[in-house]
């Protein structure tokens, strides 16, 4: 999933279905930086610049959360609400995709309740496993 930089909606693929915009290509960004078009001064938060071209939001791990929202933009399994069964907003890791967060996550990531985050059949919501 990606977040559209125009309308901030989540989408999959190359074009946002809400506003039909396409993400800015890394080549365009690089050329802008080389030409000095990406000078933004200081950030005032939320990806806004004080002057110049707006700061570019990126989603390095392509989990649908840009670098301003994502608590770990290098891990596609870690983002706010990843472990929806544990919390809709807490930054957790859910590697197996069962909706429960890992008990022993990396530093600065909230722990969840999934005692085996490598197997989606083993979680607090599944009482059939032994």
In tens, the pLDDT along 62-117 reads: 888 887 788 888 889 998 999 999 999 999 999 999 999 999 888 889 999 998 99
- What is the distance between the alpha carbons of residues 117 and 114, in angstroms, rounded to a whole number? 6
In tens, the pLDDT along 13-67 reads: 666 666 665 555 555 555 555 555 544 444 444 445 545 555 567 888 888 888 7
Residues 6+ apart with CB under 8 A from 73: 58, 59, 60, 61, 65, 66, 67
∠ CA 50-16-23, rounded to 5°: 50
Q: Which strand (E) or helix (H) includes residue 31? A: helix 26-34
Domain residue extents for the chain: 76-119
| Contact yes or no for 40/32 (Cβ under 8 A) | no
């Amino acid at each position: 999933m990606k977040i559209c930089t125009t309308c901030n909606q989540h989408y999959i693929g190359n074009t946002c279905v809400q506003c039909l915009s396409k993400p800015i290509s890394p080549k365009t960004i690089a050329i802008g930086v080389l030409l000095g078009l990406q000078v933004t001064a200081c950030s005032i938060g939320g990806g806004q610049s004080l002057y110049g071209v707006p700061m570019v939001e990126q989603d390095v791990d392509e989990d649908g959360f840009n670098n301003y929202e994502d608590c770990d933009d290098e891990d596609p399994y870690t983002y706010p609400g990843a472990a929806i069964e544990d919390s809709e907003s807490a930054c957790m890791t859910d590697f197996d995709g069962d909706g429960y967060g890992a008990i022993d996550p990396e530093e600065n990531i909230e722990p969840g309740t999934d005692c085996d985050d490598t197997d989606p059949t083993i979680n607090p919501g599944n009482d059939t496993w032994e």
